[in-house]
Chain A
């Protein structure tokens, strides 16, 4: 079956760095997405990886290892506004997004 695993909740300190991991199992693979969802709001796109390696975009970076079925989202210089859920989603061979349940990130001062 198809499955996405990510931690349910993480806590980090303002100004610090946090890494949110995601493992996936899909029928075929057409890329890995990360979305941010603030409470009561819609998911918004953060990053997309389809090749192995690290993609850096400002304070956020995303890494992919296709052989390991593994990705992580790295958030640097954490700010209070980064408190949100981070959703990992893998696209299968039918171009369908398989979503994880999200990791709730709590930032403390």
Chain B
């Protein structure tokens, strides 16, 4: 059984469109994250949610909005897509953000290409 799943795996779209990426975890974890991995392979934290509360919001454009209907889901909605948004987006989860020894488990990634 997949622990952290994301859909879609690949997303090709035009500039200016609005798109969503879905993430679900069945580990019973309290915290979920969204990361962006660019062509240089840096993993950059975008958001994290702990028990449906946004607790880290990095300086990402407000075109990006996380939505968490329940603690097992953290979706990422992107408005007015730009060429620079092309990257791999990873969802991850951990038991508790403040338990420092907690491992983060990653989803398979969503490869977004904006044309």
Contacts and interface: CB of A to CB of B under 8 A. Distances in A.
Interface string A74-109: 000000000001010101001111011110000000
A96 B105 contact: no
Contact of B45 (A33, A41, A42, A97): A97
B98 A95 contact: yes
Given A31-B101, A43-B106, A48-B103, 7 more contacts: A30-B100, A44-B106, A45-B104, A85-B41, A91-B100, A96-B56, A100-B42
Chain B residues touching A, range? 10 to 19
Contact of B42 (A33, A42, A99): A99
A12 interface: no
A94 B104 CA distance: 15
Interface of A: 30-31, 33, 41-45, 48, 50, 85, 87, 89, 91, 94-97, 99-102
Contacts of B97: 95
B45 A96 contact: yes
B42 A101 contact: yes
Interface string B76-115: 0000000000000010000001101101111111000000
A33 B107 CA distance: 18
B63 interface: no
Contacts of A99: 42-44
A63 B43 CA distance: 22
B51 to A, nearest CB: 15
Contacts of A50: 100-101
A50 B103 CA distance: 13
A64 B103 CA distance: 17
